[in-house]
Amino acid sequence: MTLPPGVRARVTRYLTLLDQAAPGVLDGLYLVGSIALGDFQPRQSDIDFIAVTALPLSAPALDNVETVHRVLAQKTGPAFDGFYIDRSNLGLPPDPTAILPFELAGHFHRRSACFEANPATWAIWRDHGIAIRGPASATLDLSIDPAALIRFEQDNLGYYWTDWVVTHWAGPADAALAAWGVLGVLRLAHVLATERIASKTAAGRWALGHFASSWHPIIDEALAARRGKPAPMPLARFHAALDFVACVIAEAGPGHPLR
């Protein structure tokens, strides 16, 4: 797969810095998220990575890795977010409460619960992960229980996204935020309906065939914003988008009637 120039430059810079600061630490590097799913949007998307190490990172190695991320963040470019996992853990079920080192939104967490170590990330890694260094993703011992993936997505809808609607109801209206919410819940609904991971764009297109036509303008607006062409959004329209998010939560929650 050909990486976007900005992504390739950032990944190359990361590898150069890490190999200099901590030679031999990195056993494998995989790109997941929107890049792996073919939906990378230069002005919106992060670079999501999974770094495989031969052994758990020692305190000195963690110091070096953290320094690499601080140096990398000084240069303008997409956020480089991901986590580090040693090879012996690849055969274990994914666990979003697992204590792992990870970089997120400009902060390096040395030993914290890493939410991204979850069944959805594992499914993307196994089926779509781009191997920058190391063997192909499909050859790794990645354990994914379909029932665990469904439970994870349902819990995500029932807790995080339900609170998200309540939190943002008071505004202000934001077209990009509305699109993030609409397409975010549709990705989860797509998993519950098909047991397959889709990009935000693909999930939006899928939704046009699975939700009432009255919702189609909301979905179309979210897809346009995803392409970098958000329309002006008054508060009433923002509320309509939040209503749709709530509708998806109701229809794709426990029992997932979309199936």
* Cβ neighbours for 258, distance < 8 A, ≥ 6 positions apart: 189, 192, 193, 210, 251, 252
Do residue 179 and residue 236 come from a single domain? Answer: yes
Do residue 101 and residue 165 come from a single domain? Answer: no
Residue 254's Cβ-side half-sphere holds a number of Cα atoms within 13 Å equal to: 3
pLDDT at 44: 84
* Residue 51 β-bridge partners: 29, 84
pLDDT at 230: 77
Do residue 74 and residue 98 come from a single domain? Answer: yes
Q: What is the CB neighbour count within 10 angstroms for residue 232?
A: 7
> Is residue 104 in a domain?
yes
Give the predicted TM-score (pTM) of the model.
0.92
Do residue 22 and residue 100 come from a single domain? Answer: yes
Domain end marker among 91, 114, 139: 139
pLDDT at 258: 47
Do residue 116 and residue 213 come from a single domain? Answer: no
Do residue 126 and residue 168 come from a single domain? Answer: no
Kindly state the tokens that stand for 106.
């400009």
Sequential pLDDT tens for the chain (259 residues) = 688 888 999 999 999 999 999 999 999 999 999 999 999 998 888 999 999 999 999 999 999 999 999 999 998 888 999 999 999 899 899 999 999 999 998 899 998 999 999 999 999 999 999 999 999 999 998 988 999 999 999 999 988 999 999 999 988 999 999 999 999 999 999 999 999 999 999 999 999 999 999 999 999 999 999 988 877 889 999 999 999 999 999 987 655 444 4
Q: Find the domain containing 216 and state its range.
A: 146-252
Do residue 37 and residue 105 come from a single domain? Answer: yes
Do residue 26 and residue 124 come from a single domain? Answer: yes
Domain count, the chain: 2
Q: Where are the alpha helices (DSSP H) in the chain?
A: 5-21, 33-36, 59-73, 119-128, 146-156, 162-168, 175-194, 200-207, 216-226, 235-252
- Torsion angle of alpha carbons 41, 198, 185, 79, nearest 10°? -30
Q: Are 82 and 107 in contact (CB under 8 A)?
A: no
Do residue 94 and residue 214 come from a single domain? Answer: no
pLDDT at 259: 43
Kindly state the tokens that stand for 220.
């179309």
> Is residue 240 in a domain?
yes
Domain end marker among 90, 123, 139: 139
pLDDT at 254: 56
Domain end marker among 139, 161, 181: 139
**Of 96, 102, 123, 3, whose CA–CA distance to 50 is shortest?**
102
CA angle 55/56/61 to nearest 5° reads 100
> Is residue 73 in a domain?
yes
Give residue 96's Cα distance to chain centre. Answer: 13
> Is residue 257 in a domain?
no
